[in-house]
Amino acid sequence: MISKQQISEIISKYDQENLAIATVCSHSSLQIFDGARKEGLKTIGICVGQPPRFYDAFPKAKPDEYIVVESYADIPKIAQELVEKNAIIIPHGSFVEYMGAKNFAELPVPTFGNREVLEWESDREKEREWLEGAGIHMPKNVPDPKDINSPVMVKYYGAKGGRGFFIAKTYEEFLENIDPNEKFTIQEFILGTRYYLHYFYSPLETEGYSLSEGTLEMLSMDRRVESNADEIFRLGSPRELEEAGIHPTYVVTGNVPLVARESLLPLIFSLGEKVVEESIKLFGGMVGPFCLETVFTDHLEIKVFEISARIVAGTNFYISGSPYADLVEPDLSTGKRIAKEIKLAKDMGQLDKILS
Amino acid sequence: MISKQQISEIISKYDQENLAIATVCSHSSLQIFDGARKEGLKTIGICVGQPPRFYDAFPKAKPDEYIVVESYADIPKIAQELVEKNAIIIPHGSFVEYMGAKNFAELPVPTFGNREVLEWESDREKEREWLEGAGIHMPKNVPDPKDINSPVMVKYYGAKGGRGFFIAKTYEEFLENIDPNEKFTIQEFILGTRYYLHYFYSPLETEGYSLSEGTLEMLSMDRRVESNADEIFRLGSPRELEEAGIHPTYVVTGNVPLVARESLLPLIFSLGEKVVEESIKLFGGMVGPFCLETVFTDHLEIKVFEISARIVAGTNFYISGSPYADLVEPDLSTGKRIAKEIKLAKDMGQLDKILS
Amino acid sequence: MISKQQISEIISKYDQENLAIATVCSHSSLQIFDGARKEGLKTIGICVGQPPRFYDAFPKAKPDEYIVVESYADIPKIAQELVEKNAIIIPHGSFVEYMGAKNFAELPVPTFGNREVLEWESDREKEREWLEGAGIHMPKNVPDPKDINSPVMVKYYGAKGGRGFFIAKTYEEFLENIDPNEKFTIQEFILGTRYYLHYFYSPLETEGYSLSEGTLEMLSMDRRVESNADEIFRLGSPRELEEAGIHPTYVVTGNVPLVARESLLPLIFSLGEKVVEESIKLFGGMVGPFCLETVFTDHLEIKVFEISARIVAGTNFYISGSPYADLVEPDLSTGKRIAKEIKLAKDMGQLDKILS
């Protein structure tokens, strides 16, 4: 991974009155560009082949300029150009995925957030170490299928993008469904309702919900729309579908907005707080937006099944604010919050704290 | 119950240019405080133990001051302090529940709304008398389980917070599921889609949708997110789950925003109108926000299964307006609407009409 | 159908500084009136019997005046009055349905959009010719029930408003459910999640996402709330319900807002573009709002099962903007977009291009 020191040197040569934010034209880029524009930062859209025409339909999100690459794997080739344009990269889920984690780790361009988080988040074992170390409740692992005595989610190795899972309620159901040629993991299935909680952590000294260092915000929440799992009940029950050879899948196609029961907010903040505090201990701390992917049970417990340590697409609904962000300031998207953080850090002379 | 007369005397001594609104820090307090702030009213947050830190993250909803009690049952002890601060209490669902209905009835602090509604709303029989008296269609009671000839909801006495229900489609299913040691009621299960309709009734003379007295608004609507009933189909059908000993529960964890078919608005207003008119006859009328909890059937009929005669948490999504409230004025939450009503009543010298 | 020429003559006599928009008081009229008011156009509400009182509760959507008819079939009788008031009719789904397609086709009042679209949209065969001609993927027809080898939707002739459908996964299920006295069609059932995509096509020369002629916008999207299909799983699986003689229905009762995965936007725009380009070839082009009713599969393909060539009620949630429209300009509903188009066409002297 490129060192903090190297990034600091690059930043020190930036024309800080002409910073630009740059990201790949996908995932949550509309709000990232819109937010930067609102805060008066320049915007650079990185794209493959040619500029995507759909930005023409969204003038407020259209980047000031595009840099076209042949493939996302070529992004390292434009590093120098990005640096010359005083660019700060805003990584989103697709950015890292398209480019490859290794390429991303080495990219010699200042990047919003702490790149060290990547290794903690992308490795299931380390993620569990982090979250459970923070005192977060996660679904339990079930190492031996014979121990299945309540619903479980069975996940094949290399399952990706919402496929390669199945649900079993008993060992018998496990045996009926398992592909004996595949390696798998088994995790407790948490029955409840899914909430994706969108936080923002700032290591800068500002007023607000204070942690040992920095402050925490909760800007919005969503529920993912999963194809085909969300509507498959129209066709049949799990058993009826099994008989017909039809299998549920969990591919995210979009997001629905929602709010949580207000009496859960203390718990919601406490979860975010613990995750941040532990991240500071483990690797110097996350920076900026992160998302806890949770299930709210009918005992009003919150189980966390995953963390995303950057902007998630579930924030896309809230491009002009949310029921929570509106209580911070009007018209505050996560994209705009990122731009504000960059401007604030610049004004405080602390860009080093939020870039890596 | 404390008398109207006693409350009037307290109000007559208030410094009406320095009114404060007070409520318990939960349920819908973010929008109540935010709404009061927008209207220039002071805010007092009542909390147990210590001020909840999460308000630090929402500066626009943070109350001007907190009053800390040891337990909500101790709220009567702070009555004098509240009166000295010219406080008007905004009761929400948790407020009444936490404090206890009896304590609430006697609390010698001016309270937004008509406290008489409590006895009509908390007693199932009187609630039915009220709603059916208003000509509202409710799910039918089925006194004898042998008469089950269509889907029913069986509810144990003392069932609370979304547990202690089950659905049966036949008498056989009833027998398979019933716990013979428990008392129960049986109600017709209305098949359709749930809508929680958020109204506001003002007894003050203003322009708008006029009733025999006062005016009616419909500010928003939501659908509750119920754990685990909303996602349990992923695990199995009701029968498959029954075999596995897993039971659906209906615990509210949050709310999803939605709008209704516009051709239903005349019916929606007519339902609200009837309920208000009947409440005027029965007990002098509700005041302020109320919610009809309904199912829209596939014949576009609306069945009402419950009424909440105060602000409901389903309005929390709409802290900066809703598709309906935006047609009244911009940025209008139910919390803000309450603050506006208080200010208007004060300006008209009619606080007596909206407080009790 | 009334000729373009006749409409042009009527428009040429209009006092173009005093245009009014007129529509039937239902469906999406709140936003149509609100949008016109925001753009400074007069509004006329057409209603049966008497003005609907519920507009009194929504002052920003209340039309400037009402024209009362005895039944919607009588709208032709008020044509002269509408023309004298310089009215432009905004047709919505209920408008055409209530009035009857033939009456609508002949109505001698300038109407927003191209009336020729009606015949292409209301005839299943022509609709398929249009969409498939545009290269759109639709669910396949299954002419012979014996060929059912994956889930299908069976639809009786004359099925209307969400009834008269059933789902079958096999030929056996088809035989169990089919009413032998009814004519039917069989269509592939697309498993996935439903998205209703709200576009706006302007034939005027403006900047934006350009087509061969005019520009395209995507203003919002929704998911319909269907009674009882959306909540029927609480009662039983399809097979369990079948045994109990309970049948799913698909009657729209409202709409839930949502956003789509951003990486699908290029495809979403491409679908809209193809449909518009083909409509230009086939019948001179649609004008204004249209909606593609789609399913997003778990392979991130988008299948289109229907097109609505006018404003749909799914836009009603977005009366003050949407996550997409906010990137065009603030506070932009589809209703307001229509009013803007009329004003722009008037200023450009091109009302002929958008009216028929």
* DSSP-assigned states of every residue in C78-89: GHHHHHHTTEEE
Q: What is the pLDDT of residue B277?
A: 98
The model's pLDDT over C119-166, given as tens digits with 9 standing for 90+, comes to 999 898 999 999 999 999 999 999 999 999 999 999 998 788 889 899
| B27 belongs to an annotated ligand binding site | yes
Long-range CB contact pairs, C118-124, < 8 A, 24+:
C118/C309, C120/C279, C120/C282, C120/C283, C120/C309, C121/C307, C121/C308, C121/C309, C124/C185
User: B320, A321: Cβ pair inside 8 Å?
Assistant: yes
Q: What is the pLDDT of residue C172?
A: 93
**Is a pLDDT exceeding 90 seen at residue C276?**
yes
- Portions of chain C given CATH number 3.30.1490.20: 140-189
Asked if CATH classification 3.40.50.20 holds for the domain at C4-111, the reply, yes or no, is: yes
Nearest-CB residue to B236 (from A209, A238, A268): A238
Q: Which tokens hold the place of C145? A: 């029930």
What's the pLDDT band for A4 if we cut at 50, 70, 90? very high
* Cβ neighbours of residue B23 closer than 8 Å, sequence gap 6 or more: B29, B32, B33, B44, B45, B46, B89, B90, B91, B92, B95
The model's pLDDT over B13-38, given as tens digits with 9 standing for 90+, comes to 999 999 999 999 999 999 999 999 99
Residue A251 CA to residue A315 CA, distance in Å, equals 17
A225 interaction partners in chain C (CB closer than 8 Å): 193, 223, 258
**Is a pLDDT exceeding 90 seen at residue A93?**
no
Nearest-CB residue to C252 (from B151, B195, B261): B261
User: C27, B262: Cβ pair inside 8 Å?
Assistant: yes
* pTM recorded for the entire structure: 0.97
Q: What is the mean pLDDT of chain A?
A: 96
Q: What is the pLDDT of residue C205?
A: 80
Q: What is the pLDDT of residue A311?
A: 97
User: A263, B163: Cβ pair inside 8 Å?
Assistant: no
Average pLDDT, integer, range C75-79: 96
Nearest-CB residue to A263 (from B59, B94, B232): B94
- Portions of chain B given CATH number 3.30.470.20: 120-137+192-225+253-327
Q: What is the pLDDT of residue A38?
A: 98
Average pLDDT, integer, range C316-342: 98
Q: What is the pLDDT of residue A158?
A: 80
| A181 belongs to an annotated ligand binding site | no
- Percent of chain B whose predicted confidence (pLDDT) is above 70: 100
What are chain A's partners, defined as 3 or more CB pairs within 8 angstroms? B, C
- Percent of chain C whose predicted confidence (pLDDT) is above 70: 100
User: C297, A244: Cβ pair inside 8 Å?
Assistant: no
Long-range CB contact pairs, A166-171, < 8 A, 24+:
A166/A247, A166/A248, A167/A238, A167/A248, A167/B234, A167/B235, A169/B235, A169/B236, A169/B240, A169/B244, A169/B246, A170/B244, A171/A145, A171/A146
Q: What is the pLDDT of residue C125?
A: 93
Q: Find the helix packing angle between B29-38 and B334-347, rounded to 10°.
A: 40
Q: Which run of H or E residues covers position C168?
A: strand C165-168
- Best to test chain A binding among B47, B53, B62, B196 (most A CBs inside 10 Å): B53
User: B296, C227: Cβ pair inside 8 Å?
Assistant: yes
Q: Which run of H or E residues covers position C135?
A: none
Taking Cα atoms as reference points, which of B281, B309, B258, B257 lies closest to residue B117?
A: B309
Query: Of 3.40.50.300, 3.30.470.20, 3.30.470.10, 3.30.360.10, which CATH number belongs to A120-137+192-230+250-327?
Result: 3.30.470.20
ipTM associated with this complex: 0.97
**Is a pLDDT exceeding 90 seen at residue A161?**
no
Give the SS3 label for residue A229.
coil
Taking Cα atoms as reference points, which of B97, B86, B80 lies closest to residue B64?
A: B86
Average pLDDT, integer, range C278-293: 98
C258 interaction partners in chain B (CB closer than 8 Å): none
**Is a pLDDT exceeding 90 seen at residue B295?**
yes
A240 interaction partners in chain C (CB closer than 8 Å): 169, 237-239
**Is a pLDDT exceeding 90 seen at residue B302?**
yes
What is the topology classification, in CATH, of domain C120-137+192-230+250-328? Answer: D-amino Acid Aminotransferase; Chain A, domain 1 (3.30.470)
Q: Which tokens hold the place of C76? A: 């032709």
User: A54, C209: Cβ pair inside 8 Å?
Assistant: yes
- Best to test chain B binding among C225, C241, C242, C256 (most B CBs inside 10 Å): C225
Residue A335 CA to residue A322 CA, distance in Å, equals 13
Nearest-CB residue to C235 (from B169, B269, B327): B169
- Portions of chain C given CATH number 3.30.470.20: 120-137+192-230+250-328
Q: What is the pLDDT of residue B279?
A: 98
- Portions of chain B given CATH number 3.40.50.20: 4-112
What's the pLDDT band for A212 if we cut at 50, 70, 90? very high
Q: What is the pLDDT of residue A58?
A: 98
The model's pLDDT over B166-193, given as tens digits with 9 standing for 90+, comes to 999 999 999 999 999 999 999 999 999 9
How close is the nearest chain C Cα to the Cα of B227, in Å? Answer: 12
CA B111 to chain centre: 15
Tell me how many residue pairs between chain B and chain C have CB atoms under 8 A apart. Answer: 146
The model's pLDDT over C27-56, given as tens digits with 9 standing for 90+, comes to 999 999 999 999 999 999 999 999 999 999
Average pLDDT, integer, range B73-79: 95
How close is the nearest chain B Cα to the Cα of C161, in Å? Answer: 9
- Which CATH superfamily hosts domain A140-189? ATP-grasp fold, A domain (3.30.1490.20)
What is the topology classification, in CATH, of domain B4-112? Answer: Rossmann fold (3.40.50)
Q: Which tokens hold the place of C337? A: 């977009």
Q: Which CATH class is domain B120-137+192-225+253-327?
A: alpha beta
CB A286 within 8 A of CB A114: yes
A261 interaction partners in chain B (CB closer than 8 Å): 252-254, 313
Q: What is the mean pLDDT of chain C?
A: 96
C218 interaction partners in chain A (CB closer than 8 Å): 54, 57
Alpha helix stretches (DSSP H) within B171-297:
171-177, 238-243, 265-283
CB A19 within 8 A of CB A40: no
User: B313, A191: Cβ pair inside 8 Å?
Assistant: no
**Is a pLDDT exceeding 90 seen at residue A85?**
yes
Residue C344 CA to residue C356 CA, distance in Å, equals 16
- Percent of chain B whose predicted confidence (pLDDT) is above 90: 93
What's the pLDDT band for B97 if we cut at 50, 70, 90? confident
CB C293 within 8 A of CB C196: yes
Nearest-CB residue to C229 (from A57, A234, A237): A234
Average pLDDT, integer, range B327-346: 98
Q: What is the pLDDT of residue C206?
A: 80
Q: What is the pLDDT of residue A130?
A: 98
Taking Cα atoms as reference points, which of B309, B278, B276, B264 lies closest to residue B291?
A: B309
User: A255, C258: Cβ pair inside 8 Å?
Assistant: yes
Neighbours of C45 (CB within 10 A): 23
Q: What is the pLDDT of residue B216?
A: 98
- Nearest residue of A to residue B38 by CA position? A327
B151 interaction partners in chain C (CB closer than 8 Å): 235, 244, 246
Q: Which tokens hold the place of C114? A: 């191209």
Q: What is the pLDDT of residue A98?
A: 87
Beta bridge partners of C311: C92
Q: What is the pLDDT of residue A96?
A: 86
C256 interaction partners in chain A (CB closer than 8 Å): 256
User: B266, C54: Cβ pair inside 8 Å?
Assistant: yes
User: C259, A316: Cβ pair inside 8 Å?
Assistant: yes
The model's pLDDT over B33-73, given as tens digits with 9 standing for 90+, comes to 999 999 999 999 999 999 999 999 999 999 999 999 999 99
Q: What is the pLDDT of residue C98?
A: 87
C321 interaction partners in chain B (CB closer than 8 Å): none
What's the pLDDT band for C101 if we cut at 50, 70, 90? confident
Nearest-CB residue to C235 (from B151, B194, B328): B151
Residue A217 CA to residue A198 CA, distance in Å, equals 9
Residue B240 backbone class (left: φ over 0; alpha: ψ -120 to 50; beta: rest): alpha
Nearest-CB residue to C258 (from A54, A227, A254): A254
The model's pLDDT over B207-231, given as tens digits with 9 standing for 90+, comes to 899 999 999 999 999 999 999 999 9
The model's pLDDT over B150-166, given as tens digits with 9 standing for 90+, comes to 999 999 987 888 898 99
Nearest-CB residue to B324 (from C26, C58, C246): C58
Q: Which tokens hold the place of B19? A: 């009114």
| B226 belongs to an annotated ligand binding site | yes
B296 interaction partners in chain C (CB closer than 8 Å): 227, 253-254
Q: What is the pLDDT of residue B158?
A: 79
User: B60, A298: Cβ pair inside 8 Å?
Assistant: no
Q: What is the pLDDT of residue C96?
A: 86
Q: What is the pLDDT of residue C100?
A: 86
- Best to test chain A binding among B27, B98, B234, B243 (most A CBs inside 10 Å): B234
- Nearest residue of B to residue A328 by CA position? B58
**Is a pLDDT exceeding 90 seen at residue A220?**
yes
